[in-house]
Structure 1
Amino acid sequence: MRRGDSAPAGLAGGHMEDGGVLKEGFLVKRGHIVHNWKARWFVLRQNTLLYYKLEGGRKVNPPKGQILLDGCTITCPCLEYENRPLLIKLKTRTSTEYFLEACSREDRDAWAFEITGAIHAGQPGKVQQLHIQRNSFKLTPHISLHGIVDKMHDSGSGIRPSPNLEQGSTYKKTFNGSSLVDWLISNSFAANRLEAVTLASMLLEENFLKPVGARSTGAVRSGDLAEQFLDDSTALYTFAESYKTKISLREDINLSTMELSGTVIKQGYLAKQGHKRKNWKVRRFVLRKEPAFLHYYDPSKEENRPVGGFSLRGSLVSALEDNGVPTARSAPNCSPAGPINT
């Protein structure tokens, strides 16, 4: 959320300090003493990054803490936690480390861009240098494609393929395009995402990697080398020698697999009210279509499995004011509080 955007309805009760807000929104933060993960509402200013606790779905003043950005260094992508690939690491002048997790690669990169700009606010040339993308890329003489692939296979610091689902089919030993781009940058094989995509395309061209599933194979058939590899979390790839055919869906397949087979069309953090205790907790929501489901995940947990969800077919949707009364506004293609068209 950038300056000028309105805060989520659940956070409207804690008024933001006037002026100077560069970006705000949910991030999941690792604790300093006990390394658990908790969602916090972050507010980026020119010199500081503030974070707030939530109570009753609302931001609690004063801030729970702050990160001083003067002299801070930022690492993005940060791959220090295998099960949390969307991390940003901030290291302060006093060597205190903060780990912050976003809900998507796009959200993570947007936060990293804004924080980097805030860190180097007094050095406009430095900001431009940090974010410029070079138009050409050549593999340096001391790096070979074979060496990169060997590093990718390393059991400690390489890429670990896992089962992934695309359009109702499960593919073994695969990884997505965005994860490989993050890995190439994190291991200093590329300076930015453009270079990493070009390098990954070279790995494809030389048959070190194979595309898996309709999304990535369709890109390869485009014929344009620069567009063959997709920096996308839904495009799957595998090592050429470990390529396996897909496992087709059967009629008796587990229902949860069917629920998760739809295409992801939106994801992000929301504050959700509990069914029984009526308390509020931040969850990462993922909206899918064909079939249409809304699932939510607990960001404090390591495993990437939904803790709840429901089908949207036949569901009713209403926008609520602070007093809980539905508004008279209607969503596109449906009447007020009417069924969602799925």
Structure 2
Amino acid sequence: MEDGVLKEGFLVKRGHIVHNWKVRWFILRQNTLLYYKLDGGQKVTPPRGQILLDGCAITCPCLEYENRPLLIKLKTRTSTEYFLEACSREERDAWAFEITGAIHAGQPGKVQQLHILRNSFKLPPHISLHRIVDKMHDGSTGIRPSPNMEQGSTYKKTFIGSSLVDWLISNSFAASRLEAVTLASVLMEENFLRPVGARSMEAIRSGDLAEQFVDDSTALYTFAESHKKKISAKEEISVSTVELSGRVVKQGYLAKQGHKRKNWKVRRFVLRKDPAFLHYYDPSKEENRPAGVKGNVQGNLFKVITKDDTHYYIQASSKAERAEWIEAIKKLT
């Protein structure tokens, strides 16, 4: 990494004039966030633009786009808004942490507070969010949405924050109310849950890195509709649910060479185990389904990376990242 660079990597950025989404290479320095256009999966100099961090406000998680739950919003001193999407919750939080640190570089107390927040409760690796949500939907033992009132308004099919915290503890998904609140925040950040009404929305708008979920009988939540959408028969054939049922062990942005035109495009790759598959997605599209499958990892691995690690069709953004991907894939073959 170059001198003075705090973090660098791929993020998906919303366009200012035409609100389309494009992958850009971002470099974070102490007072600026630079972004570059890509050619062949590599950054093109000079930078396409820069975001001045002095006086900037950061919102993470940003829930303004229902189908993009991994967003960071930056609002500059001049009120220009930037929407940036990461490839995973961990990567989004890492970017938010580093950017917030750069914004508050002159305030050691604030930076120390961020370190404490970052090192607080982590979701145990054996807990599957999909399993929790499936159990929440269970007709007999799950969470039953019902009409609830807040400030004189009635909201259908909602549940209160403290009820979900009680449920997570009683089903042994969390050992304490603090853990349950953190887990509920994660479910919301990953777009499984949605805040409803003024009380829960107010916590989201605060923009702090502290917990976003409210353990309270006045805060209302509901299931996010985007996870109930039916997929077409054509999509069902092209994407096997068995393929997508494995646990995610690694994900990130990588440049992939096209099969026919041999051009390079950045894709979000997801490596799953039990069963082992490597899928890739077009990050500029909103639908969260594979744009392609590199097949069962066991059978097609070396169509991606050669055995001697010299000739490959997928390009990582650094030698260290390439080594991490190779190591992760080798463990599944």
User: Which TM-score applies when normalising by structure 1?
Assistant: 0.61
Change (3 A) 1:237 1:31: closer
What is aligned with 1:91?
Answer: 75
Deviations 1:99-142 (A, max 9, x none): 000011111111011001111112222333455449xxxxxxxx
State how far apart, in whole Å, the 1-side matches of 2:264 and 2:298 are. 25
Deviations 1:276-311 (A, max 9, x none): 111111111110011111111111111111110121
2:306 is aligned with 1:306:
no
Q: Which amino acid aligns with 1:117?
A: G
Shift of 1:93: 1.0
State how far apart, in whole Å, the 2-side matches of 1:235 and 1:52 are. 29
What is aligned with 1:275?
Answer: 259
Contact 2:13 2:83 in 1 (8 A): yes
Q: Which amino acid aligns with 2:39?
A: E
What is aligned with 1:291?
Answer: 275
Change (3 A) 1:32 1:173: farther
The alignment of Structure 1 onto Structure 2 pairs a total of residues equal to 246
Change (3 A) 1:284 1:241: closer
Structure 1 residues 1-342: aligned runs within 5 Å: 3=1, 18-130=2-114, 132-133=116-117, 166=131, 202-207=162-167, 217=171, 219=173, 224-227=176-179, 230=183, 256-309=240-293, 310-315=295-300, 316=302, 317-318=305-306, 319-320=309-310, 341-342=332-333
Q: Which amino acid aligns with 1:34?
A: V
Look up the SS of the partner of 2:173 in the other structure: helix
State how far apart, in whole Å, the 2-side matches of 1:235 and 1:60 are. 34
Contact 2:11 2:84 in 1 (8 A): yes
Q: Which amino acid aligns with 1:308?
A: G
State how far apart, in whole Å, the 1-side matches of 2:54 and 2:33 are. 11
CA RMSD of aligned residues (A): 4.1
Contact 1:40 1:52 in 2 (8 A): yes
Change (3 A) 1:74 1:60: same
Shift of 1:341: 4.8
Which runs of 5 or more structure 2 residues have no equivalent in the other structure? 119-128, 139-159, 195-219, 224-235, 315-322
Contact 2:193 2:222 in 1 (8 A): no
Q: Which amino acid aligns with 1:219?
A: F
State how far apart, in whole Å, the 2-side matches of 1:39 and 1:241 are. 31
State how far apart, in whole Å, the 2-side matches of 1:45 and 1:339 are. 34
Change (3 A) 1:127 1:205: closer
Look up the SS of the partner of 1:117 in the other structure: helix
State how far apart, in whole Å, the 2-side matches of 1:71 and 1:36 are. 26
User: Which TM-score applies when normalising by structure 2?
Assistant: 0.62
Contact 2:69 2:191 in 1 (8 A): no
Q: Which has the higher helix share?
A: 2
State how far apart, in whole Å, the 1-side matches of 2:276 and 2:298 are. 7
Look up the SS of the partner of 1:271 in the other structure: strand
